[in-house]
Structure 1
């Protein structure tokens, strides 16, 4: 089994305690030499300013190749592109361009009257204003708002056609889910475009809730296994074993890149990476 290229997703902190947790996460995972790390927006763009601050700090002080999430939610085109230009001026040339989740309490996404109506519009505009590497989201299980699996593929192809260079998938529980999606992408001319997103399960209740919200299928055997493990106080062991097995199956199936959703809790992600043969390459001296 070959050693994968890895990347990590972080989210911006909302308080002092969370700030320390983020920097601890960076200290733990940076020595694994990720090809990039990304920093999210909160739902409805609620952490827009925090994202900008964290991205700038990571880029300047950590030595990590840093990507910034950018969404269409609750902002005009001019405001969104101004943020992108700010990132570029700070030396950040990697963007994860997403439509974004609607604000909490909303029934669905409603474009700002002067904003981007879709991720495709955002990607096209970003491609037109600067030399960005643009990554996008993808859904191995059908997106809750998509008409069909083929519609998801068609939309992903539209993103690639206007400037996206890589797609990071939503998490999934079985390797076969990704392989089916990868085959469908290849049939549509999207070879080597999708990178599987991996969620090490730190909290089963939260992961199951998140899966339901984003349309990720939960196999019955996974749910049963976690219910039993929780009763036996072995959920962490199960999570490590299942995540390692999933990643191993992906690598054996030809996958070369893995993108981990860390939730700013690095230990399980680190342990899985170690099990895959990804060992510390550099020591991060200081993050300020």
Structure 2
């Protein structure tokens, strides 16, 4: 906890205003999460700690299909997200998903629980068929059958898969924004070409950041 306190103090001194509070994955991305000595067992405890430190807007992760490790089902997982919000989270960024129906069900469930903080959908532009199959296997997100069929038509042609990914994500974002999503978070993986193309398709401004 003292290590986290030090990071928060440094962030504050650098003028950072927003913190995304994540429990994090086990080393290697698989296996069971184990609490470190003197650390936090649950992410709501981290949220509460940051809230008590003061001076930050706190974001947390949400899972429209339920967290891969939550054996009790997605509704239990969403109740746990409500707990994080009750302990001080100001906004939610979701894990990647490919069916907007999952996001809308997630949003409506939380709204019915009285949640009013922004629930920002997380969208990942597909860069290749192999890449997205690997990502979804790790995080438990579902690939719709029609999407898989379209990607398999393109085989190992990464450029064709990426172009289709731009088209698919554009349609996703159009519907999400039309139905009231408060914005879009792109998982770019430090590759901005697809995200930039999607923003242009949506007729949204692309502002380059120097440095």
What is the root-mean-square deviation of aligned Cα atoms in Å? 1.6
- 5 Å matches for 1:119-158? 119-146=43-70, 147-158=72-83
Which string of whole-angstrom CA distances, capped at 9 and with x for unpartnered residues, describes residues 149-179 of structure 1? Answer: 1211111111111110000000100111111
| Counterpart position of 1:163 | 88
| Counterpart position of 2:163 | 237
- Unmatched 5+ stretches in structure 2: none
| Counterpart position of 2:3 | 79
Cα distance change of structure 1 residues 160 and 200 upon mapping to structure 2, 3 Å threshold: same
Matched, 1:96 2:20: yes
8 A contact 2:62–2:81 mirrored in 1: yes
State how many pairs are aligned: 209
Residue of 119, 132, 140 corresponding to 1:215: 140
8 A contact 2:119–2:182 mirrored in 1: no
| Counterpart position of 1:107 | 31
Partners in 2 of 1:200 and 1:162 — Cα distance?
32
Q: Which has the higher contact order (CA 8 A, sep 6+)?
A: 1
Partners in 2 of 1:211 and 1:189 — Cα distance?
30
Matched, 1:116 2:40: yes
Q: TM-score, normalised by structure 1?
A: 0.69
Structure 1 residue 205: deviation in Å?
1.2
Partners in 1 of 2:188 and 2:56 — Cα distance?
24
Cα distance change of structure 1 residues 150 and 125 upon mapping to structure 2, 3 Å threshold: same
Moved over 4 A (4+): none
Structure 1 residue 237: deviation in Å?
2.0
8 A contact 1:200–1:243 mirrored in 2: yes
Partners in 2 of 1:254 and 1:106 — Cα distance?
35
| Counterpart position of 2:129 | 204
Partners in 2 of 1:256 and 1:193 — Cα distance?
6
Matched, 1:186 2:111: yes
